[in-house]
Amino acid sequence: MDLCSRRIIGWSMAGHLRADLVCEALNMALAARRPGADLLHHSDRGVQYACREYRGACSRPAASREHERCRRLLRQRPTESLWGKLKTELVYLEHFATREQARAAIFEYIETFYNRVRLHSSLGYVSPERFEAGLT
């Protein structure tokens, strides 16, 4: 999540909590934004974020060939809020017969509804996409 715009820029789903799950989300975000050396990266405190593979991904050159810094911060309110909204606005209202159905619905929620339509009070009641459009 880009904390400025609340846009979800990297995410991944799997039936496990191995490091490649979080590395995939990180790589998606890095490819989408191509951050500079001043990137401040927040992560959870789970074991997959502390493992060598993930820490290595944080110290590798970003897509723009600049380095990013990874830091862990304990305050994760915006991300925890996202999880709550995802559950109450989608997951608890549906029954998914397969993991692929759940993945497709979550993709639609994040990429179409949350980023483009859902209004955020912290952004002056506009969507993340519209907020970012106003920054340029």
Which sign, positive or negative, has the C-alpha torsion 75, 122, 110, 106? positive
Q: Can you tell me the mean pLDDT for 20-42?
A: 82
List, for residues 70-99, the tens digit of each pLDDT value: 444 445 778 888 999 999 999 999 999 999
The pTM score is 0.79
Statement: residue 66 has pLDDT above 90: no
Amino acid at 3: L
Residue 45 CA, distance from chain mean position: 15
Statement: residue 37 has pLDDT above 50: yes
